[in-house]
Amino acid sequence: MKINPKKLYEILKNEYGDPNWWPVDKKYHTQNRTDFRFEILIGAILTQNTAWSNVEKALMNLKKQKKLDIDNILEMETKEIGELIKPSGYFNQKAKRLKEFTSYIKNNYNSNLDTFFNRDIREIRKELLSLNGIGPETADSMILYAGNLPIFVVDAYTKRICARIPLETKLSYNEIQKFFQKELKKEEKDTEKILKIFNELHALIVYLAKDYCRKKPKCLKCPISKYCEYKKELF
DNA sequence: GTCCAGGGCCGTT
DNA sequence: AACGGCCATGGA
């Protein structure tokens, strides 16, 4: 049986419902008069090749010290940032990346995230990619989940699932992204709904990959197994 | 103890 | 262009 991105979305949506993504404690930001989008931007860097449970500990450390905003990040020495974000791993390079990214926003956009995101997506993306430590997935996560702008995020899970089904043979980041965006826009014209699908489908793919499409897959109960050619180890 | 997680950079081929 | 080594913590 054949499957496409829209069908995949419908099956996973039926399986998992509304994903809670990207998790942010908005009450914290309301009380402290900080921008919750900044937490998403920082989280996007902290979660690079790292379990979210570890990122939560790092974000919690920053919140406890009331350092989770642009000016307070920039006031800290890189070493001090590293101490707070240590649970998220790679803390030396991530501390440097956080500081570089944050100073970029302050210096070029006067710390105004509305100004930063209220532009052409391709411009935003190009700028993010020019910063050290921000690659395609981090940039696109920032644009989609902090900027609330329609771009499809590809990660290692998406590539794995595409290869196994198979959905798309060219497995480079850009090819997979183009494929999903084209296919999903083909079936849905409403901009708001496209944004919602981009937002949710990436999250749902992560769930699927964690529960079933693992490195050692659990195809037996996988919700898409009948659409997938990769059924080597049915246990 | 081993494996892996919501990647990206840099050097080598 | 593609690949390997490296970065680091914590949970399974």
Spanning CA of A14 to C1' of B10, the rounded length in angstroms is 43
Q: Give the tens place of pLDDT for each residue, A124-166.
A: 999 999 999 999 999 999 999 999 999 999 999 999 999 999 9
A147: how many CB neighbours lie within 10 A of its CB?
Answer: 24
Angle at A132 between CA A199 and CA A72, to 5 degrees: 80
Angstrom distance (rounded) from CA A219 to CA A61: 39
For strand C, list residues 177-216 of chain A whose Cβ lies within 7 Å of it.
Answer: none
- pLDDT band at A235; cut points 50, 70, 90: very low
C1' nearest to CA of A23: which nucleotide? B6
Q: Quote the crossing angle between the two packed helices A191-211 and A156-164, to the nearest 10°.
A: 80
The confidence score (pLDDT) of residue A170 equals 86
**Closest residue by C-alpha to C1' distance, nucleotide C12:** A51
H helix runs in A4-135, sequence order? 5-16, 26-32, 36-46, 52-64, 70-75, 78-84, 91-109, 113-117, 121-130
Spanning CA of A57 to C1' of C10, the rounded length in angstroms is 10
Asked whether residue A50's C-beta has any atom of DNA/RNA strand C within 7 A, the reply is yes
Q: Is the pLDDT of residue A233 over 90?
A: no
Residue A136: helix, strand or coil by DSSP? helix
**pTM greater than 0.85:** yes
The confidence score (pLDDT) of residue A232 equals 61
Q: Quote the crossing angle between the two packed helices A36-46 and A52-64, to the nearest 10°.
A: 130
The per-residue pLDDT of chain A, averaged, comes to 95
Angle at A143 between CA A78 and CA A141, to 5 degrees: 70
Q: Give the tens place of pLDDT for each residue, A22-70.
A: 999 999 999 999 999 999 999 999 999 999 999 999 999 999 999 999 9
